[in-house]
Chains A and B, each alone.
Chain A
Amino acid sequence: MTLTMSNPNSPPSGGRKAPPPRPKRPEWTDGLRRLYDSVVDEPLPDSFQDLLDRLDKQN
């Protein structure tokens, strides 16, 4: 008895051989960027500018 395992890393996917050759760009990559941008675009609490002004005055 011989076990052949051509590619042990490929998931058991019902015998389909070659995956479509299109570049893999999952849908969530936009989500990651949107998540980051959603924070960048938030209105900035005054505390940050206040801190900068305080720092600026003290020297």
Chain B
Amino acid sequence: MAVHELTAADKSAFKRELAEVVPHLRAFARGLCGRPDMADDLVQETMLKAWAAQDRFEPGTSMRAWTFVILRNAYLTDMRRNRFRGEYDETVAERVLVSAAAQEEPLHLDDMRRALMALPAERREALLLVGAGGFSYEEAAEICQCPVGTIKSRVGRARAALTAMLEEGQLPDSDGYRAEEAHAAILAELEQVSGSSGH
């Protein structure tokens, strides 16, 4: 779309719409990086970038989706600069396990938060967009700039991991693949045993 001259009405509409999505930006940012102070920094950074790019926003399209792309890119850039490293660690998983086993009451948001932070970043992001933000798989794929199938797979894996943590009290695998590998190794071993024993 061609960049057009913004009228005063366009500008005030942009400002209003941007203000409206700030609470959503905060929720998304906090889900991504886990720390309220850093999340709010990320939101301010996003607002500055969105403001600077406002002539590229197409009126009538989703301000929330548009700003989420900006926030996500800012987050990834910060991640590469190690700004958010070390925010979550092994002890997160242990705390999830303890709290899940110790209580009979309905789910605490703290447990939810811890379990979410124990997920690999890209699965957490996909689950946040679809499961919390209410975006369709297609919209989430556009925001993450990846195929729809990739989003579906990430959401599916994230859901399975959360169910294991929150309902079965299982420790998450650090990389999410280890359990499958371990299982495959066991199967291979069994096959060898059955093969060498003859018949």
Contacts and interface: CB of A to CB of B under 8 A. Distances in A.
B18 A52 contact: yes
Interface stretch (B87-95, B136-144, B189-197): B189-197
A5 interface: yes
B31 to A, nearest CB: 7
Interface string B139-168: 000000000000000000001001100110
Contact of B191 (A3, A33, A35): A3
B18 A37 contact: no
A6 interface: no
Contact of B23 (A5, A8, A42): A42
Contacts of B23: 39-42, 44
| Contact-size category for B | 35 or more
B107 interface: yes
Contacts of A33: 131-132
Interface residues of A, number: 31
A44 B113 CA distance: 20
A39 B30 contact: yes
Interface string B16-41: 00110011101110110000000010
Interface of B: 11, 15, 18-19, 22-24, 26-28, 30-31, 40, 43-44, 47-48, 51, 106-107, 109, 111-113, 115-116, 127-128, 131-133, 159, 162-163, 166-167, 183, 187, 190-191, 194, 197, 199
Interface of A: 1-3, 5, 8, 26-42, 44-45, 47-49, 51-52, 55-56
